[in-house]
Structure 1
Amino acid sequence: MNNFISKVSKGIIAILPFLLLFWIFSFVYDFFEAIFHSVFGITNSNLFITIVIFILSICLLYYIGHLLDKNKEFLLISITEMIIAKIPLVKSIYSGIKEVLNIFSGKGKEGYLGVAYVNVGTMELMGFITKDEGEFFWVFIPTTPNPTSGFIAKISKENIRMSNLSVSDGFKKIISLGVK
Protein backbone atom coordinates (compact mmCIF):
# COMPACT_ATOMS: atom_id res chain seq x y z
CA MET A 1 0.00 0.00 0.00
CA ASN A 2 2.86 2.38 0.83
CA ASN A 3 4.45 1.68 -2.56
CA PHE A 4 1.12 2.45 -4.25
CA ILE A 5 0.81 5.84 -2.51
CA SER A 6 4.42 6.64 -3.35
CA LYS A 7 3.90 5.94 -7.04
CA VAL A 8 0.62 7.88 -7.15
CA SER A 9 2.27 10.90 -5.50
CA LYS A 10 5.19 10.72 -7.95
CA GLY A 11 2.67 10.56 -10.80
CA ILE A 12 0.88 13.63 -9.46
CA ILE A 13 4.15 15.53 -9.15
CA ALA A 14 5.12 14.48 -12.68
CA ILE A 15 1.93 15.79 -14.29
CA LEU A 16 1.43 18.83 -12.02
CA PRO A 17 3.41 21.23 -14.26
CA PHE A 18 1.30 20.19 -17.25
CA LEU A 19 -1.91 20.62 -15.26
CA LEU A 20 -0.83 24.05 -14.05
CA LEU A 21 0.13 25.07 -17.59
CA PHE A 22 -3.24 23.82 -18.89
CA TRP A 23 -5.02 25.71 -16.10
CA ILE A 24 -3.15 28.93 -16.95
CA PHE A 25 -3.94 28.57 -20.67
CA SER A 26 -7.57 27.79 -19.84
CA PHE A 27 -7.79 30.83 -17.57
CA VAL A 28 -6.21 33.12 -20.20
CA TYR A 29 -8.50 31.74 -22.92
CA ASP A 30 -11.62 32.19 -20.78
CA PHE A 31 -10.49 35.69 -19.82
CA PHE A 32 -9.99 36.82 -23.42
CA GLU A 33 -13.15 35.06 -24.57
CA ALA A 34 -15.15 36.93 -21.94
CA ILE A 35 -13.62 40.24 -22.98
CA PHE A 36 -14.18 39.63 -26.69
CA HIS A 37 -17.70 38.39 -26.09
CA SER A 38 -18.64 41.31 -23.87
CA VAL A 39 -17.10 43.86 -26.23
CA PHE A 40 -18.22 42.43 -29.53
CA GLY A 41 -20.94 39.96 -28.53
CA ILE A 42 -20.60 37.91 -31.71
CA THR A 43 -17.36 36.02 -31.30
CA ASN A 44 -18.95 32.74 -30.17
CA SER A 45 -20.99 32.33 -33.31
CA ASN A 46 -18.65 33.60 -36.03
CA LEU A 47 -15.17 32.17 -36.55
CA PHE A 48 -14.20 34.84 -39.10
CA ILE A 49 -14.99 37.68 -36.66
CA THR A 50 -13.06 35.89 -33.92
CA ILE A 51 -9.97 35.59 -36.16
CA VAL A 52 -10.23 39.23 -37.21
CA ILE A 53 -10.49 40.35 -33.58
CA PHE A 54 -7.52 38.17 -32.66
CA ILE A 55 -5.40 39.68 -35.47
CA LEU A 56 -6.46 43.21 -34.51
CA SER A 57 -5.55 42.45 -30.88
CA ILE A 58 -2.08 41.26 -31.90
CA CYS A 59 -1.65 44.39 -34.03
CA LEU A 60 -2.74 46.56 -31.09
CA LEU A 61 -0.26 44.82 -28.76
CA TYR A 62 2.48 45.27 -31.36
CA TYR A 63 1.63 48.97 -31.66
CA ILE A 64 1.71 49.43 -27.88
CA GLY A 65 5.09 47.68 -27.78
CA HIS A 66 6.34 49.93 -30.59
CA LEU A 67 5.20 53.03 -28.70
CA LEU A 68 6.92 51.79 -25.55
CA ASP A 69 10.16 51.28 -27.49
CA LYS A 70 10.00 54.83 -28.82
CA ASN A 71 8.75 56.47 -25.64
CA LYS A 72 9.50 54.70 -22.36
CA GLU A 73 6.73 56.63 -20.57
CA PHE A 74 3.74 55.62 -22.68
CA LEU A 75 0.81 57.77 -21.50
CA LEU A 76 -1.78 54.97 -21.29
CA ILE A 77 0.56 52.80 -19.18
CA SER A 78 1.42 55.76 -16.92
CA ILE A 79 -2.24 56.60 -16.30
CA THR A 80 -3.07 52.95 -15.61
CA GLU A 81 -0.19 52.66 -13.15
CA MET A 82 -1.31 55.85 -11.37
CA ILE A 83 -4.80 54.36 -10.96
CA ILE A 84 -3.38 51.03 -9.73
CA ALA A 85 -1.13 52.89 -7.26
CA LYS A 86 -4.25 54.18 -5.49
CA ILE A 87 -5.62 50.68 -4.75
CA PRO A 88 -3.84 49.29 -1.64
CA LEU A 89 -3.75 45.51 -2.15
CA VAL A 90 -3.67 45.61 -5.94
CA LYS A 91 -0.75 48.07 -5.84
CA SER A 92 1.53 45.70 -3.93
CA ILE A 93 0.67 42.71 -6.12
CA TYR A 94 1.12 44.72 -9.32
CA SER A 95 4.46 46.18 -8.25
CA GLY A 96 5.78 42.72 -7.32
CA ILE A 97 4.70 41.21 -10.62
CA LYS A 98 6.13 44.16 -12.55
CA GLU A 99 9.47 43.89 -10.73
CA VAL A 100 9.80 40.18 -11.51
CA LEU A 101 8.83 40.73 -15.15
CA ASN A 102 11.35 43.58 -15.45
CA ILE A 103 14.08 41.36 -14.08
CA PHE A 104 13.30 38.52 -16.49
CA SER A 105 13.00 40.88 -19.44
CA GLY A 106 16.39 42.41 -18.68
CA LYS A 107 15.04 45.81 -17.60
CA GLY A 108 15.66 45.25 -13.88
CA LYS A 109 19.45 45.01 -14.09
CA GLU A 110 19.97 48.62 -13.05
CA GLY A 111 18.12 47.96 -9.78
CA TYR A 112 20.48 45.25 -8.55
CA LEU A 113 24.25 45.37 -8.25
CA GLY A 114 24.63 41.59 -8.31
CA VAL A 115 23.83 38.25 -6.78
CA ALA A 116 25.50 37.27 -3.53
CA TYR A 117 25.44 34.61 -0.86
CA VAL A 118 24.88 35.88 2.68
CA ASN A 119 26.40 33.99 5.60
CA VAL A 120 23.78 33.27 8.24
CA GLY A 121 25.17 30.90 10.87
CA THR A 122 26.29 27.75 9.08
CA MET A 123 24.24 28.35 5.92
CA GLU A 124 24.27 30.75 3.00
CA LEU A 125 21.20 32.54 1.67
CA MET A 126 21.02 33.86 -1.87
CA GLY A 127 20.38 37.58 -2.06
CA PHE A 128 20.44 40.47 -4.47
CA ILE A 129 22.61 43.46 -3.69
CA THR A 130 20.59 46.65 -4.04
CA LYS A 131 22.99 49.27 -2.70
CA ASP A 132 26.68 49.60 -1.84
CA GLU A 133 27.11 51.67 1.31
CA GLY A 134 30.78 51.77 2.27
CA GLU A 135 31.56 48.69 4.38
CA PHE A 136 28.01 47.38 4.01
CA PHE A 137 25.69 46.12 1.29
CA TRP A 138 21.93 46.41 1.30
CA VAL A 139 20.75 42.95 0.24
CA PHE A 140 17.26 41.81 -0.73
CA ILE A 141 16.82 38.17 0.29
CA PRO A 142 13.72 36.80 -1.43
CA THR A 143 11.60 33.89 -0.32
CA THR A 144 11.21 30.90 -2.56
CA PRO A 145 9.38 30.13 -4.83
CA ASN A 146 7.74 33.60 -4.67
CA PRO A 147 10.54 36.16 -5.04
CA THR A 148 8.17 39.11 -4.67
CA SER A 149 8.36 38.74 -0.91
CA GLY A 150 11.41 38.53 1.30
CA PHE A 151 13.41 40.83 3.51
CA ILE A 152 16.04 43.51 3.12
CA ALA A 153 19.16 43.52 5.27
CA LYS A 154 22.17 45.76 5.76
CA ILE A 155 25.06 43.30 5.88
CA SER A 156 28.80 43.83 6.24
CA LYS A 157 30.76 42.95 3.11
CA GLU A 158 32.80 40.33 4.99
CA ASN A 159 29.64 38.23 5.51
CA ILE A 160 28.86 38.19 1.79
CA ARG A 161 30.28 35.99 -0.96
CA MET A 162 29.72 37.35 -4.46
CA SER A 163 28.20 35.03 -7.07
CA ASN A 164 28.90 34.89 -10.78
CA LEU A 165 25.17 34.44 -11.50
CA SER A 166 23.31 37.16 -13.37
CA VAL A 167 20.30 38.68 -11.61
CA SER A 168 17.99 36.87 -14.03
CA ASP A 169 19.69 33.53 -13.36
CA GLY A 170 19.52 34.18 -9.62
CA PHE A 171 15.77 34.73 -9.78
CA LYS A 172 15.37 31.61 -11.92
CA LYS A 173 17.20 29.65 -9.23
CA ILE A 174 14.92 31.07 -6.53
CA ILE A 175 11.71 30.36 -8.46
CA SER A 176 12.78 26.84 -9.43
CA LEU A 177 13.61 26.00 -5.79
CA GLY A 178 17.29 25.70 -6.65
CA VAL A 179 16.82 23.19 -9.49
CA LYS A 180 17.95 25.49 -12.32
Structure 2
Amino acid sequence: MRKYFITGLLILVPLAITAWVLNLVISTMDQSLLLVPGSTKPSVWFGHLVPPLSSIPGLGTVLTVLIVFFTGLLTNNLVGNYVVKLWEKLLQRIPIVNSLYSSVKQVSDTLFSPSGNAFRKAVLVPYPHQNSWTIAFLTGVPGGDAANHLVGDYVSVYVPTTPNPTSGFFLMMKRSDVVELDMSVDAALKYIVSMGVVAPAEVVAVPAPAAKE
Protein backbone atom coordinates (compact mmCIF):
# COMPACT_ATOMS: atom_id res chain seq x y z
CA MET A 1 0.00 0.00 0.00
CA ARG A 2 2.84 2.42 0.85
CA LYS A 3 4.40 1.75 -2.58
CA TYR A 4 1.17 2.61 -4.38
CA PHE A 5 0.66 5.77 -2.32
CA ILE A 6 4.20 7.03 -3.02
CA THR A 7 3.75 6.29 -6.72
CA GLY A 8 0.53 8.26 -6.66
CA LEU A 9 2.34 11.20 -5.06
CA LEU A 10 5.06 11.11 -7.72
CA ILE A 11 2.42 11.38 -10.42
CA LEU A 12 -0.03 13.81 -8.83
CA VAL A 13 2.20 16.29 -6.95
CA PRO A 14 3.75 17.85 -10.10
CA LEU A 15 0.34 17.95 -11.75
CA ALA A 16 -1.30 19.45 -8.67
CA ILE A 17 1.27 22.23 -8.26
CA THR A 18 1.20 22.98 -11.99
CA ALA A 19 -2.59 23.17 -11.89
CA TRP A 20 -2.44 25.31 -8.74
CA VAL A 21 -0.16 27.89 -10.35
CA LEU A 22 -2.26 27.99 -13.50
CA ASN A 23 -5.43 28.24 -11.42
CA LEU A 24 -3.91 31.14 -9.49
CA VAL A 25 -3.26 33.03 -12.72
CA ILE A 26 -6.66 32.20 -14.20
CA SER A 27 -8.56 33.00 -10.99
CA THR A 28 -6.81 36.37 -10.83
CA MET A 29 -8.00 37.17 -14.32
CA ASP A 30 -11.47 35.93 -13.40
CA GLN A 31 -11.80 38.85 -11.00
CA SER A 32 -13.25 40.69 -13.96
CA LEU A 33 -16.47 38.75 -13.27
CA LEU A 34 -17.02 41.08 -10.35
CA LEU A 35 -18.00 43.69 -12.90
CA VAL A 36 -20.83 41.50 -14.21
CA PRO A 37 -24.30 42.27 -12.79
CA GLY A 38 -25.41 39.80 -10.12
CA SER A 39 -28.37 38.41 -12.07
CA THR A 40 -26.16 37.43 -15.02
CA LYS A 41 -23.22 35.83 -13.14
CA PRO A 42 -22.41 32.16 -13.98
CA SER A 43 -22.95 31.16 -10.34
CA VAL A 44 -26.59 32.21 -10.62
CA TRP A 45 -27.20 30.19 -13.78
CA PHE A 46 -25.20 27.08 -12.86
CA GLY A 47 -25.21 27.15 -9.05
CA HIS A 48 -27.79 24.35 -8.88
CA LEU A 49 -25.24 21.95 -10.41
CA VAL A 50 -23.06 22.04 -7.28
CA PRO A 51 -23.79 18.86 -5.24
CA PRO A 52 -24.74 19.31 -1.59
CA LEU A 53 -22.11 16.71 -0.60
CA SER A 54 -19.44 19.38 -1.05
CA SER A 55 -20.54 20.92 2.26
CA ILE A 56 -19.60 17.82 4.31
CA PRO A 57 -16.39 18.56 6.30
CA GLY A 58 -13.52 16.16 5.61
CA LEU A 59 -15.07 14.65 2.49
CA GLY A 60 -12.54 16.37 0.25
CA THR A 61 -9.64 15.00 2.32
CA VAL A 62 -10.94 11.44 2.05
CA LEU A 63 -11.49 11.84 -1.68
CA THR A 64 -7.97 13.23 -2.17
CA VAL A 65 -6.37 10.29 -0.34
CA LEU A 66 -8.39 7.82 -2.43
CA ILE A 67 -7.42 9.56 -5.67
CA VAL A 68 -3.71 9.50 -4.74
CA PHE A 69 -3.85 5.83 -3.77
CA PHE A 70 -5.72 4.63 -6.85
CA THR A 71 -3.51 6.75 -9.11
CA GLY A 72 -0.47 4.95 -7.74
CA LEU A 73 -2.26 1.62 -8.06
CA LEU A 74 -3.19 2.19 -11.70
CA THR A 75 0.21 3.53 -12.74
CA ASN A 76 2.07 0.50 -11.36
CA ASN A 77 1.40 -1.47 -14.54
CA LEU A 78 2.34 -1.25 -18.21
CA VAL A 79 -0.87 0.46 -19.29
CA GLY A 80 -0.62 3.05 -16.52
CA ASN A 81 3.03 3.80 -17.29
CA TYR A 82 2.20 4.20 -20.97
CA VAL A 83 -0.59 6.67 -20.20
CA VAL A 84 1.68 8.67 -17.87
CA LYS A 85 4.41 8.88 -20.53
CA LEU A 86 1.90 10.10 -23.09
CA TRP A 87 0.62 12.68 -20.62
CA GLU A 88 4.13 13.94 -19.87
CA LYS A 89 4.95 14.18 -23.58
CA LEU A 90 1.83 16.28 -24.04
CA LEU A 91 2.80 18.62 -21.20
CA GLN A 92 6.32 18.98 -22.61
CA ARG A 93 4.84 20.46 -25.78
CA ILE A 94 3.17 23.33 -23.91
CA PRO A 95 5.71 26.19 -23.54
CA ILE A 96 4.98 27.60 -20.07
CA VAL A 97 3.57 24.42 -18.54
CA ASN A 98 6.61 22.46 -19.74
CA SER A 99 9.18 24.35 -17.64
CA LEU A 100 6.89 24.54 -14.60
CA TYR A 101 5.94 20.85 -14.65
CA SER A 102 9.52 19.67 -15.27
CA SER A 103 10.90 21.68 -12.35
CA VAL A 104 8.22 20.52 -9.93
CA LYS A 105 8.56 16.90 -11.06
CA GLN A 106 12.32 16.90 -10.44
CA VAL A 107 11.78 18.14 -6.90
CA SER A 108 8.93 15.72 -6.16
CA ASP A 109 10.90 12.77 -7.57
CA THR A 110 13.78 13.65 -5.27
CA LEU A 111 11.59 14.06 -2.19
CA PHE A 112 9.13 11.18 -2.59
CA SER A 113 10.94 8.55 -4.62
CA PRO A 114 12.22 5.60 -2.54
CA SER A 115 15.42 5.66 -4.60
CA GLY A 116 16.01 9.36 -3.96
CA ASN A 117 18.61 10.75 -1.56
CA ALA A 118 16.59 13.59 -0.05
CA PHE A 119 16.12 13.71 3.71
CA ARG A 120 17.83 10.38 4.27
CA LYS A 121 19.61 11.46 7.44
CA ALA A 122 18.87 13.84 10.29
CA VAL A 123 21.88 15.89 11.34
CA LEU A 124 22.84 18.60 13.79
CA VAL A 125 24.41 21.76 12.37
CA PRO A 126 25.59 25.07 13.85
CA TYR A 127 22.98 27.61 12.74
CA PRO A 128 22.55 30.58 12.64
CA HIS A 129 25.91 30.94 14.43
CA GLN A 130 28.58 28.69 15.90
CA ASN A 131 27.10 28.73 19.42
CA SER A 132 23.60 27.73 18.30
CA TRP A 133 22.58 24.34 16.90
CA THR A 134 19.57 23.16 14.94
CA ILE A 135 18.31 19.99 13.30
CA ALA A 136 18.78 19.72 9.54
CA PHE A 137 18.59 17.04 6.88
CA LEU A 138 21.42 15.74 4.76
CA THR A 139 20.49 16.10 1.08
CA GLY A 140 23.71 15.28 -0.74
CA VAL A 141 26.92 17.00 -1.79
CA PRO A 142 27.44 20.32 -3.59
CA GLY A 143 27.45 20.09 -7.36
CA GLY A 144 27.93 22.24 -10.42
CA ASP A 145 30.21 25.24 -10.38
CA ALA A 146 29.56 25.75 -6.66
CA ALA A 147 31.64 22.66 -5.88
CA ASN A 148 34.60 24.17 -7.76
CA HIS A 149 34.77 27.07 -5.30
CA LEU A 150 34.61 24.98 -2.13
CA VAL A 151 37.90 23.79 -0.69
CA GLY A 152 37.58 20.66 1.42
CA ASP A 153 34.87 18.09 2.10
CA TYR A 154 31.43 19.72 2.01
CA VAL A 155 27.88 18.39 2.24
CA SER A 156 24.51 19.87 1.33
CA VAL A 157 21.95 20.23 4.10
CA TYR A 158 18.42 21.54 4.32
CA VAL A 159 17.56 23.55 7.44
CA PRO A 160 13.75 23.61 7.85
CA THR A 161 11.84 26.30 9.68
CA THR A 162 9.39 25.60 12.48
CA PRO A 163 6.50 24.87 12.68
CA ASN A 164 6.37 24.77 8.86
CA PRO A 165 9.21 22.53 7.63
CA THR A 166 8.29 23.02 3.96
CA SER A 167 10.20 26.30 4.01
CA GLY A 168 13.80 26.62 5.07
CA PHE A 169 17.36 27.20 3.95
CA PHE A 170 19.76 25.27 1.75
CA LEU A 171 23.31 25.34 3.11
CA MET A 172 26.64 23.90 2.02
CA MET A 173 28.69 23.12 5.11
CA LYS A 174 31.93 21.38 5.97
CA ARG A 175 31.34 17.74 6.77
CA SER A 176 33.33 18.17 9.98
CA ASP A 177 30.74 20.71 11.20
CA VAL A 178 27.83 18.32 10.66
CA VAL A 179 26.90 15.85 13.38
CA GLU A 180 24.87 12.82 12.30
CA LEU A 181 22.03 11.98 14.68
CA ASP A 182 20.78 8.57 15.74
CA MET A 183 17.27 9.75 14.92
CA SER A 184 14.86 8.85 12.13
CA VAL A 185 13.74 11.48 9.64
CA ASP A 186 10.13 11.12 10.85
CA ALA A 187 11.14 11.69 14.47
CA ALA A 188 13.21 14.72 13.49
CA LEU A 189 10.29 16.22 11.54
CA LYS A 190 7.95 15.73 14.51
CA TYR A 191 10.53 17.40 16.74
CA ILE A 192 10.75 20.38 14.39
CA VAL A 193 7.00 20.75 13.77
CA SER A 194 6.27 20.61 17.51
CA MET A 195 8.84 23.38 18.09
CA GLY A 196 10.81 21.08 20.37
CA VAL A 197 7.85 20.02 22.50
CA VAL A 198 7.64 16.43 21.22
CA ALA A 199 11.16 15.21 21.86
CA PRO A 200 12.30 11.90 20.34
CA ALA A 201 12.97 8.97 22.63
CA GLU A 202 16.37 9.07 24.23
CA VAL A 203 18.98 6.77 22.77
CA VAL A 204 20.75 4.79 25.46
CA ALA A 205 24.38 4.29 24.61
CA VAL A 206 25.44 0.67 24.95
CA PRO A 207 28.90 0.41 26.53
CA ALA A 208 31.49 -1.43 24.53
CA PRO A 209 32.40 -4.87 25.88
CA ALA A 210 35.57 -4.99 27.91
CA ALA A 211 38.59 -6.35 26.13
CA LYS A 212 39.55 -9.87 27.11
CA GLU A 213 42.89 -10.19 28.83
Q: TM-score, normalised by structure 2?
A: 0.42
| Greater RCO (CA < 8 Å, at least 6 residues apart) | 2
Structure (1 or 2) with the greater strand fraction: 1
Which is richer in helix? 1
Larger-gyration structure (1/2):
2
